Amino acid sequence: MSADDPKTLVSTQWLADHLKDPDLRVIDASWYLPDMNRDPKAEYDAAHIPGARFFDIDDISDTLSDLPHMAPSPEKFMSRLRAMGIGDGHQVVVYDGNGIFSAARVWWLFRLMGKTDIAVLDGGFGKWQAEGREIEDMPPILRDRHMTASRQAHLVKDVTQVAAAAKLGDWQIVDARGAARFRGDEPEPREGLRAGRIPGSKNVHYATLLNEDGTMKRGDALKAAFTQAGVDLDKRIITTCGSGVTAAILSLGLEMLGHRDWALYDGSWAEWGQFEQLKVETG
């Protein structure tokens, strides 16, 4: 794979070279955990990559669900993206303010909706700023663009499917949370959730896929992040995490490695951890 792939990951230089392309659209998908004490919309309003639209992960979701930021219906996705001036025929680049964190979730969401011309900005807004590249604080002028979506059901799993996979062992379940949460040694940040992990799952903390500057590892180094955790890259994989955000970083990494037989557990631990009838492993 080349260093830049407009369907997975592109460099800041690639984006700078293509920023004025008429059919390029940039999305700021910054989202933070409560303990990060950051306001993504306020940061976007203060400074963003020229032309970037702000994508609110919590708003462009299934707001009828009790679970956080579950994937929206294709109809809602199309409606919101059209209003943002993003539609068919656009190449999309998505970034966030934390290297690679929440941007991968939006990459997965586009893929779930059948949109493949989307890439994550490697290193995110922090790398863009560190290189002294152009920023602005003005919102873009939006023009409605026709958008179609077709949900790709094979890219997502629900709790019933994950429970079956855990029981049968026909999928590997790979958890992106930190090791202490995976073992159940520390409490979950969301109230009312048990500590621990899905039985039989393996732990690949999302940060092990990243370099110190927030960029994604490549080649053998990226592969090793999975294989050293006991993941067989020749078998089917379900990615999971706390609420379906950092699991998408694992999905992005798998896609970059050419692994196509993966799906993301959208409910993740926010769902699994609340149901007493679902088994939990610790230790």
Q: Answer yes or no: are the C-beta atoms of 16 and 133 closer than 8 Å.
A: yes
CB contact burial 230-266 (16+ within 10 A = b; e otherwise): ebeeeeebbbbbbbbbbbbbbbbbbbbbebeebbbbb
Percent of the chain whose predicted confidence (pLDDT) is above 90: 95
Whether pLDDT at 176 is above 50:
yes
Q: Which residues pair with 216 in a beta bridge?
A: 210
- Catalytic positions: 241
pLDDT, residue 273, reads 97
Count how many domains the chain has.
2
In a domain, 4, yes or no: no
140/242 same-domain check: no
Q: What is the DSSP letter of 247?
A: H
CA–CA distance, 82 with 59 (Å, rounded to integer): 15
CA–CA distance, 125 with 131 (Å, rounded to integer): 10
81/175 same-domain check: no
What stretch of H or E contains 206? Answer: none
73/179 same-domain check: no
Q: Answer yes or no: are the C-beta atoms of 96 and 28 closer than 8 Å.
A: yes
pLDDT, residue 283, reads 94
Mean pLDDT of 124-145: 96
* Residue 198's pLDDT band (cuts 50, 70, 90): very high
* CATH number where 143 lies: 3.40.250.10
Spatial CA neighbour of 266 closest among 115, 69, 111, 96: 69
Domain that holds residue 230: 154-272
* Residue 1's pLDDT band (cuts 50, 70, 90): very low
* Residue 190's pLDDT band (cuts 50, 70, 90): confident
pLDDT tens profile 254-280: 999 999 999 999 999 999 999 999 999
* Residue 219's pLDDT band (cuts 50, 70, 90): very high
Distances (CA, A) of 48 to 59, 120, 200, 214: 20, 15, 42, 18
Whether pLDDT at 2 is above 70:
no
In a domain, 38, yes or no: yes
CA–CA distance, 49 with 138 (Å, rounded to integer): 10
233/212 same-domain check: yes
In a domain, 213, yes or no: yes
pLDDT, residue 93, reads 98
In a domain, 143, yes or no: yes
CB contact burial 61-99 (16+ within 10 A = b; e otherwise): beeeeebbbbbbebebbbebbbebbbbeebbbbbbbbbb
146/209 same-domain check: no
Task: Look at the chain and count its residues.
Answer: 283
pLDDT tens profile 3-62: 899 999 999 999 999 999 999 999 999 999 888 899 999 999 999 999 999 999 999 999
Q: Give first-to-last CA distance, the chain, whole Å.
A: 38
43/166 same-domain check: no
Whether pLDDT at 178 is above 60:
yes
* Residue 75's pLDDT band (cuts 50, 70, 90): very high
